[in-house]
Amino acid sequence: PPFAKRLELMRTIYDLHSHTLESDGTLTPTELVERAARMGVQVLALTDHDVTHGIAEAQQAAAKESGLQLVPGVEISVTWQGRTLHIIGLGVDAENTALVTGLADLRQRRNERGREIGQRLESIGVENAYAGARSYSHGDILSRTHFARFLVDNNYAKDVGRAFKKYLSNGKVGYVHCEWVGLEECIGWINGAGGQAVIAHPGRYAIGSGTMRRLLGEFRDAGGAGIEVVCGNNNSGEIDRFARLANDFGLLASCGSDFHGPEQHWRELGRLTRFPEGCRPVWQDWH
Ligand code: AMP
Ligand code: MN
Ligand code: MN
Ligand code: MN
């Protein structure tokens, strides 16, 4: 292609990680797509937690935006070696039976966990915690984020970050372990639904470099496709580290903001650190 066209292709803005109020975001799928288009995003993946209900509306909204392509996705809660990991599925068929059934089961577990979180919070004097958190959930999942918003609005914490730190993080009174789906099974759902599995925000897990290498090896051997090398607010040292790891393990590289809503001003759609050179992007075979 001519030079100008090549430049244009190089500048394509991919944001492959975002949420709506179908999970723990605050925008509707239509609002999300419109905002992404305004921010100059050309390829947007909607990746709500354990639910695909927003995809149809997002597709309709994307059809009205000439410059924006929507990738149907999901961010799946996984338990690996006793820890929670998030695995993104990109380009999934949201109607796929195994995926649909598996996600419904995860949402059921979320609900059971939520009841226990509610009881624990009530045991330290937070009234009506379960019903309160429920009222912040506009979709089909109950997230710790909904508890956090409830706690903030009822003056138990100053902001969502502090609500997590004080009540909801691992080790705090409102933290309840939940056994999510296994890594292999999750990759099976994604691949079975025609998608690509990507490890979300690898820098956010508290795991050492040996364990990280074990994870990447197992992930790749189970059919995983890539890792999120560029996430919303990571630094260039982290990006270089995961770019190298992706190449070492023959994995593709993805990028996404993990946008949840305009309230989190430090994470914006399409606002991503430059994609590193020398990585194979997860979209290399997309057309
Ligand atoms: P859950 O999947 O219900 O356990 O909730 C996890 C979600 O909570 C993540 O997807 C984040 O959106 C949010 N979250 C986790 N930790 C924090 C934190 N320290 N501050 C703000 N939000 C957080
Ligand atoms: Mn979230
Ligand atoms: Mn996540
Ligand atoms: Mn996310």
Query: What separation in angstroms does the CA of 8 have from each of 3, 13, 71?
Result: 9, 10, 20
pLDDT of residue 138: 94
pTM surpassing 0.75? yes
Query: Could you tell me which of 231, 239, 248, 252 has the C-alpha nearest to residue 86?
Result: 231
C-alpha of residue 147 to centroid of ligand 2, in Å: 12
pLDDT band, residue 3 (cuts 50/70/90): low
Query: Could you tell me which of 180, 181, 172, 123 has the C-alpha nearest to residue 148?
Result: 172
Residues in contact with ligand 1 (CB, 6 Å cut-off): 24, 49, 77, 143-145, 160-161, 164, 260
Ligand nearest to the CA of 22: 2
3-class DSSP state of 69: strand
C-alpha of residue 49 to centroid of ligand 2, in Å: 7
The first and second tokens of residue 180, run together, are 């999510």
H or E segment to which residue 253 belongs: strand 252-256
Tell the residue nearest (CA) to atom 11 of ligand 1: 145
pLDDT of residue 200: 98
pLDDT of residue 10: 58
Strands 196-199 and 226-231, bridge-based pairing: parallel
pLDDT of residue 2: 60
Closest atom of ligand 1 to 141 CA is: 3
